[in-house]
Each structure stands twice: as structure tokens, then as C-alpha cells.
Amino acid sequence: MKVVDRAFLGFGVASLVTAVLFGGFWERQARATSSPGALSDDAGVQEAYSEALDVVKANYAGAPEIETVNKYAILGMLRVLDPHSSFLDSREFSELRNEQQSQLIGIGVTINPRNGRVYILSAVPGTPAEKAGLRYGDAIVAVDGKSTEDLSYGQVVAAVRGERGKSVDISVERVGVPDPVTVTIVRQSVPLPSIRNHFMIGPSVGYVGLTAGFSSTTDSELGQAILDLQSQGMQQLVLDLRRNPGGLLDEAIKVAQRFLPEGERILVVRGREGGSREERIYTSKNGSPETMPLVVLIDDGTASASEVVTGALQDHDRALVVGQTSFGKGLVQTVFDLNYETGLTLTTAKYYTPTGRSIQRDYSGTSLYDYFLHRTKTLPDTDATVGEPVLTDLGRQVFGGGGIRPDIRVDEPAGTALRGRLFGSTFEFARYLVAGQFPNLRQFRVESVTFNHVFKGDEYRITDDVIAAYRQFLSTRQKDFPVTDAQVTANLEYVRNRIREEVVTAAYGTDVGGQLNILNDVVAQRAVEVMSQASEMAENARALRDRQ
């Protein structure tokens, strides 16, 4: 029985919240069945639906896909209940099962939408994509002969993925190559780790990016990352849960108890009063937890199972929480297996942090779009408090009802239209730079990717010659990237960092490129600065437990 906790959104805004998929799955049920007369009182509704469907089939101007119509009819019914109960078709249900096992079926690439197209940022080492020669900067222009020009990012991802053992033709536009390059790749199971990055962010401070959800391997991955960093001298830890959408709840419990001593409460799950779900209390069973000072990073994409971890560590004063207020999802779903390999996730319980906080945001009278984009009356990105405060072990005030508020709020730089143009233009410039298209900058040409590179900090420094080439590049691409010389000068540090991050990604893969991004990240920098506060708080909490 797998317990999962993840947020979900269907319909037209799904691509905006892909990172917060499938709500809190309390347990896995066998195929749902009903007694023959269970819905007899609603026979009129069933008859009306059947009649309406017949009218659609006979008279609709287009060619209705009945399977899709039925799917969204079920989704519409569930949306009346809450934002996280959902229906999964066979493909979605299969992807969920694969994801829980830390894998997906695909070709093994990291792809991203940039400048209105979908690009490959890196191939995963040892996967079919790497063996086929796909590389940084390749623009995916067709999949199985179908142009991607009018496809969304989500549609391109869906087209690239598919059945294990089935081949797919990927056509890419590559800088310096006149015609598209087409490769045929057989889809395979590709690793999907929870931890995408871990490295030393300071002399004694380790960083672990647990940003890809909680799957069956999350806790073991974290254990290995901690051991590796301790061998490098780590004495303090930054645990990054930003953009972590949740996942298997039992893995979240394991992660929390890795830092909490035996007997400490982690989570309480309660079903409806008089319902079939009894209250369940989860406590730590770890007799020798990690005692190093700990800072946890969160933002408005930190949801569900990652909020379970954050809430438990905050309530027991075990970690200092830095960043922005979390997503605010405290509902738990049961997964029911249905016919035709489909599934139903139904909200059956709520969870509460050790202090009794419910962190679920109010979704009454709010559209799905506003709810998942946080455009609700309890905005998580404000300092407004929701509900009565409760006290942590050390007597600090914390609040529930609208996500987990950080102990130290640090806002990331606000996005602007200019920053967007600079981001897009530095990426496009880097494509040409690493392809060797600037004769006087051949040292930046990347022939092949060096995976598992240990970043030293001095690789690919961006010289004035590179900036001069970037300015010249912009002068020829003003239609695409209207940026002036003055604007480049005013944002020169950002431009240097962006170009360098792209080149490092091309040379060493997305993991190392991500390290450079973290080293320049204001929230991560603040975490290192306040580590002494986290140390003092953890020591005070430990002393309090010893006195009790």
C-alpha cells in the first residue's frame, strides 16, 4: 500500500502545474465495485447522461472522441468535490505507477521550452538519447515525422514518451548543421531520481536538491547523498524542497525521521468523522537521527509530502525554514484501481503537522486556475496569517491554513519582461557559442559532454570577449530579442552568470549547470548565512528534550 501526497490539476492549465500532480494518496484500493442497486436513486441522471451522449454522437459538428468526453465528464464530477480528487486515464495511471518506482518510459533527455520552441538541454548518461547523439541546444522540430511547430511543451513531452520497446523518430535542428538531424530511438525505462543534485555549497555546508518528488528510492538517495557529502567534510546541510510536488508519503515519513529522534510525532492523518478512515499517527522510529544543523528551502511549489517533511521539522525546531510560503495542500487521496487500467484518486482524509496545523488552503468559491496559481483569498506569497497561531517545541509561533510560512522569508528576484528577453537571448547565444560559431572563442566549443564532472568553480569564466560577441549577436537579432547595449550593461552580472550556466550545462550536463545556478541563488546564499541560527535552534531543541 503506497501513500502518496501530491497536488493535481487537469484541464487546460495542466502544463502550468505539471510539477504538482496527483494529490495525497492514502492507500491503494482494489478495483472499485458497486452493488447492483447502489445508484438506483440516480437512475434518472444516468439515463439523462446516456441520452446526452447519444445526441452528441449523432449531431456534433466534429468527430467527438467518446473516451475523452467520458474522461472529462468524470473529471467534472470530481471537481465539485475538491481540487485534488481526479480521474486518471490508462496512460496517466501507468505514468504514475512508473513514477512511484523512480522511473519513466522515454528516451532519456532533459528538455525545456525556450523562445517558443522545445530544446534538449542534456541527455542522461547511458540512455538511448545519449547513445543516439542528442545534445545541448538541439531544437526538437518533429516527432515521428509530425512537426512540433504548433505543439505545446506538454504535447512534445507526451509524444517523446510512450511504450517501452517502441521506437520514436526525433528530428532536431542543430546549430552549424544545415538540415535537420533525425535519429530513431527505442524507448526504455529511464531513471527518475528524486535528488538531482548534491554538492558542497560552502567549506562545511552541503547542499541536497530534493526537488523531483518523493518516490520509492527517495530516502535511500538522501542517505547516499549525505554519506557522500560527509566524506567531503559536510557538517551542516541545506535541504532544498523548492518546487518539490510531493509523492509517496511513506518516503516523506522516512526523510523526516532521518532528522527526528525516536518518538517524535511526524504527522497525523484523520478521515471524516464516522467515515471509514481512522486517525493514524506517524512517529519517528529512528534511535540515532542526524544531528547536524539543517536549513530547509521552500517556495510556492513545495507541496504535499514535501510540506509534511517541512512541517514536522519546523514544529520540532529541528530545521530553520527559509524561502517563500509553501503551496498549501493538506488533503489525502486514496487511489482506486478501475476498469481498463484507469484509476480514481479520491480525497478521503486530511493530514496535520505535529502541532495540529492543517496547511490546506481554502478552495471554496475559487476556480481551479486561481487555486493552482495561488490566486486565492489566502495568498501563500504574502505575510498574512491564517488561523490561530500554535507553538513549536521551543515556543515559536507558527500558523496553518495557508501553506507553511518560512521562518526567514527570502524572495527570489521578480521576473520582468527584460529579464525574460535576456534569459532567452543568452540561451540562444550559448547555442552558437558551444557549437563553435565564433572563431575567436573556440575555447568555448563543446565537442562532447563530460558527465560526473566535479565542479571546481573556475570553469568557463565569461570574458569580456564573450560579452562583446553577445552584444554583436544581439545587434543581429533585435527582432527576436529587443535588448539594448545599455540594458546589457545594467544587467551585466546576470548576463555573465546566464551565459556561463548555459555553457557549463552544455559541457557537463544539467546537474553541474544546476550547481552553478544554486551558487548564484539568493535563497540558497541566505541559507548558508543563517546556518548558525539553525545550529543554535537545533541545540536548544535537543537540550529541551534532554530535560523532559
Q: Are residues 318 and 239 in the same domain?
A: yes
pLDDT score for 387:
63
Please say if 535 is a catalytic residue. no
Q: Indicate which residue of 122, 304, 306, 425 is catalytic.
A: 304
C-alpha span between 127 and 295 (Å, rounded): 34
C-alpha span between 163 and 168 (Å, rounded): 10
Q: Indicate which residue of 5, 250, 315, 521 is catalytic.
A: 315
Residue 465 within any structural domain of the chain:
yes
Q: Which of 368, 384, 411 is the last residue of a domain?
A: 411
Residue 211 within any structural domain of the chain:
yes
Q: Residue 325: phi, psi to the nearest 5?
A: -60, 140
- Is residue 5 over pLDDT 70? no
Q: Are residues 476 and 402 in the same domain?
A: no
Residue 213 within any structural domain of the chain:
yes
Where does the pLDDT of residue 232 fall: very low under 50, low under 70, confident under 90, or very high at 90 and above? very high
Residue 33 within any structural domain of the chain:
no
pLDDT score for 117:
96
Q: Are residues 462 and 404 in the same domain?
A: no
Query: Are 222 and 195 a contacting pair, CB within 8 Å?
Result: yes
Residue 75 within any structural domain of the chain:
no
Q: Residue 431: phi, psi to the nearest 5?
A: -55, -45
Residue 4 within any structural domain of the chain:
no
Residue type, 231: S
Residue 64 within any structural domain of the chain:
no
Which pTM does this prediction carry? 0.86
Mean pLDDT of 262-282: 84
Please say if 57 is a catalytic residue. no
Q: Are residues 375 and 508 in the same domain?
A: no
Q: Are residues 490 and 383 in the same domain?
A: no
Q: CATH no. for residue 211? A: 3.90.226.10
Q: Which of 135, 156, 191 is the last residue of a domain?
A: 191
DSSP H helices in 343-416:
368-372
Query: Are 246 and 214 a contacting pair, CB within 8 Å?
Result: yes
DSSP for 164-233 reads TT-EEEEEEE-TT-SS-EEEEEE-EEEE--SEEEEEESSSSEEEEEE-S-B-TTHHHHHHHHHHHHHHTT
C-alpha span between 93 and 91 (Å, rounded): 5
Query: Are 171 and 148 a contacting pair, CB within 8 Å?
Result: no
C-alpha span between 252 and 266 (Å, rounded): 10
Q: Are residues 258 and 404 in the same domain?
A: yes
pLDDT score for 325:
93
Q: Are residues 296 and 430 in the same domain?
A: no
Query: Are 297 and 238 a contacting pair, CB within 8 Å?
Result: yes
Q: Are residues 392 and 430 in the same domain?
A: no
pLDDT score for 35:
43
Q: Indicate which residue of 2, 254, 329, 350 is catalytic.
A: 329
Q: Are residues 181 and 206 in the same domain?
A: no
Q: Are residues 424 and 380 in the same domain?
A: no
Domain that holds residue 438: 417-520
Q: Which of 395, 411, 427 is the last residue of a domain?
A: 411
Please state, rounded to an integer, the average pLDDT across all residues of the chain. Answer: 86
User: Using one digit for the tens of pLDDT, what is the confidence trace for 290-329?
Assistant: 999 999 999 999 999 999 999 999 999 999 999 999 999 9
Please say if 71 is a catalytic residue. no
User: Using one digit for the tens of pLDDT, what is the confidence trace for 171-180?
Assistant: 999 999 999 9
Q: How many structural domains compose the chain?
A: 3
User: Using one digit for the tens of pLDDT, what is the confidence trace for 97-147?
Assistant: 666 655 578 899 999 999 999 999 999 899 999 999 999 999 999 999 999
Within a 10 A sphere around the Cβ of 443, how many other Cβ atoms?
Answer: 10
Contacts of 411 by beta carbon, 8 Å cutoff, 6+ apart: 324
- Is residue 227 over pLDDT 60? yes
User: Using one digit for the tens of pLDDT, what is the confidence trace for 346-361?
Assistant: 888 899 999 999 988 8
Q: Are residues 240 and 177 in the same domain?
A: no
